[in-house]
Amino acid sequence: MAGLEKAVSRGRPKCRFEIKDRCLVAMDIPVHLEAPDGYFPEGTVTVSGWITSEGTLSDLRADVVKDGSSRANKWMTRIAINILSTWRLDPAPRKDSIRVSFRFVIDPAKSSWSTSVELSSPTSLTISRGSG
């Protein structure tokens, strides 16, 4: 118990991912990241929006989508916005803009059913799926 009290008395834990001086405190990743027919495109989508004073994200929209097929663009945009809508950041007395890029890749080193999400920075996520 004494160790816990010391850890708490040192102050707030270090934030791993910070955006606009706010800590990303929670996010949820959907269990299924591919379309029902197993479709998984490669490409990128950049989403912009606002961090509300409560720490939720609002007015999310795709600014840039790079793939070429309209089906892929719609799918990547939907997944990116669904993930960002689950993010929770520290509250602040202001509204802040946010811009996050998602990269969708197929990794031949992974099995075909394996999908992973890597948050390499607070503004860049990579979603990869195996091909083998």
Tokens coding 121: 């920075």
Residue 6 lies in a domain: no
pLDDT digits (tens, 9 = 90+) for 113-131: 677 888 888 899 998 888 7
CA separation for the pair 76, 94 (Å, rounded): 30
Q: Which domain holds residue 73?
A: 15-27+42-101
Structure tokens at 86: 């689950």
Residue 10 included in any domain: no
How many CB atoms sit inside 10 A of residue 119's CB?
A: 16
Residue among 14, 16, 19, 15 nearest 100 (CA): 19
**Distance of alpha carbon 89 from its chain centroid, rounded?**
12
Percentage of the chain exceeding pLDDT 90? 42
Give the Cα separation of 76 and 82 in Å (integer): 10
CATH code for the domain in which residue 73 is found: 3.30.2420
Q: What is the pLDDT of residues 96-105, one digit of tens each?
A: 999 999 999 8
